Amino acid sequence: MQYWLMKSEPDIYSIADLERDRVTIWDGIRNYQARNYLRSMRSGDVAFFYHSNANPPGIAGLMKIVESNIADPTQFDLDSKYYDAKSSPDSPRWQTVRVEFLQRIPLISLNQLRENFTPEELTVVRQGNRLSVLPVEAEMVDRILALSSQQIPNQR
């Protein structure tokens, strides 16, 4: 199993939205490195749901990857801001994953993360880091969750 941190602006899609929907596709990623991370994900991986561009920004919950290697449908939608004219159903440029809500956690703010992790330990604390999908080393997971007295729940 691998671990990830996936960012979303809460006014666009929040942990509360995922809790309500239970399962959703993580669409609209248009950065090649973030896309490559999405391509690396497998069913059963766990991701931290990070509220970006929020006050304060931080980790708000947990989700699990339930399906991987999905062609992002927004790349084919002419009305979507994520439309990509160079992409086709036969040769999609953008892949994504389907995620399932696991649990909310008390917010672990970016400031808390910066106080407890170096940029080498946790990429999200690195100045100027703007990637919306990041890997998290397994050794860091329990340390992150300890900041909010949480654990990864037993999964079905």
pLDDT tens-digit series, residues 67-101 = 999 999 999 999 999 999 999 999 999 999 999 99
Neighbours of 36 (CB within 10 A): 11
Q: Which residue has the higher pLDDT, 156 or 111?
A: 111
Mean pLDDT of the chain: 94
Contact 9, 53 (CB under 8 A): yes
Domain annotation for the chain: domains and CATH numbers: 3-146 (3.10.590.10)
**What's the pLDDT score for residue 150?**
66
Q: Does the global pTM surpass 0.85? A: yes
Strands, E assignment, 9-94: 23-25, 46-51, 58-71
Give the integer Cα–Cα distance in Å for 55 and 50.
Answer: 12
What H or E segment, with its residue span, contains residue 111? helix 110-116
**pLDDT tier for residue 129 given thresholds of 50, 70 and 90:** confident
